[in-house]
Copies of this chain bind each other. A is one copy, B any other.
Amino acid sequence: MTWQQTAGNEALELDTIHQAQQLIEPYIVHTPVLSNPILNQLTGASLWFKCENLQRTGAFKFRGACHALLQLTKSQRQAGVYTVSSGNHGAALACAGQILNVPVTVAVPDNAPASKKANIARYGAHIVEISPGMAAREEAIARFQQLHPASSFIPPYNHPHIIAGQGTAALELVKEVADLDTLITPVGGGGLLSGSAMVAHSQSIRMCAAEPELANDAWMSMQRGAIQPAHPPSSICDGLLTNLGGHTFDVIQRYVDEIICVSDSQVVAAMQLIWHELKLVVEPSSATVLAAVLKHSEQFKGQRIGLILSGGNVDLTRLPWSVDRLEHS
């Protein structure tokens, strides 16, 4: 039985997140939770930011990737793993592979920015360039599987081991901050959201997701009761452009109370606030959660709200606001 075939046979339960936490503990950064008087004043709420931008490789994705590799048998680890990613999952898997001595191959769309490719390559992964788009992606996976049948494909979100790993960020947050009323994460493929929702449900915390209006397939999927395809990429939130998967959608349908859609300009305003007040470099996807609180401020007033800042991988020479160059000697 290959690793991906185990997916259907494992019940996703809160316990699996606790077990994942113990497994990955020696490898992850126990990221800090920050609060900020200015942002609390601005929103009239108590905000607790779980800083996964400070996680290894600059995103929560390291949790799931690390957990997936730790669940492999010794011979599966020796045979290596592969994935398709142009972003944070690729870097996370490459880094986890480097630490756990598992050979990693990442298929990267040839239009991916050089900075993203560099971030995967620096952890020693083997990079294969493919054409962009879903068809090329599926073909790359099939070809690799044929050439390396012993290798395991590690998907970016739609697997119980990935979901359980991503859920550990929320677990750390609720252990550190008592009595949260609401937990908010961004939603892309739904790995972070579904893991977090299981934790929130166990604590009777209301679970919300923040999604870009320009990539609102999760919101549409909830409305229609079936997974809707991802929109063509146009939102600035480059981490949130994928559709949901069967595993993630199943959990999201059961445990997520509300998906709040925010415009790209609301995201940029929230991103600037986080950089300016929290002094954290976050990527646009991360800023959706604060944008959601600001958009529905009446609803959230007086609440204790946990927000997961999902990542901080930004090209510092390309920012979504105008910057004058400050000359120096």
Contact = CB atoms under 8 A, between A and B. Distances in A.
Contacts of A53: 279
Given A32-B32, A56-B37, A316 B323 contact: yes
Given A32-B32, A316-B321, A322-B317, A328 B279 contact: no
Interface of A: 32, 34, 37-38, 53-54, 56, 58, 122, 214, 234-236, 263-265, 267-268, 272, 275-276, 278-282, 312, 316-329
A236, A280, A328, A329 pick with most chain B CB within 10 angstroms: A328
Contacts of A326: 236, 318-320
A265 B34 CA distance: 31
A48 to B, nearest CB: 13
A317 B37 CA distance: 23
A323 B320 contact: no
B328 A317 contact: no
A114 B155 CA distance: 49
A236 B317 contact: no
Nearest to A282: B279
Contacts of A316: 272, 275-276, 321, 323
B329 A263 contact: yes
B318 A323 contact: yes
B54 A279 contact: yes
Given A54-B279, A279-B281, A279-B312, A328 B320 contact: yes
A319 B325 contact: yes
Contact of A281 (B264, B268, B280, B318): B280
A312 B320 CA distance: 20
Contact of A317 (B56, B214, B323, B327): B323
Nearest to A277: B58
Contacts of A312: 279
Contacts of A34: 54
Contacts of A264: 328-329
A319 B328 contact: no
23 contacts: A32-B32, A37-B56, A53-B279, A54-B278, A234-B329, A236-B328, A236-B329, A272-B316, A275-B281, A279-B280, A279-B312, A280-B281, A281-B281, A316-B321, A317-B324, A318-B323, A318-B324, A318-B325, A319-B325, A320-B327, A320-B328, A323-B323, A323-B325
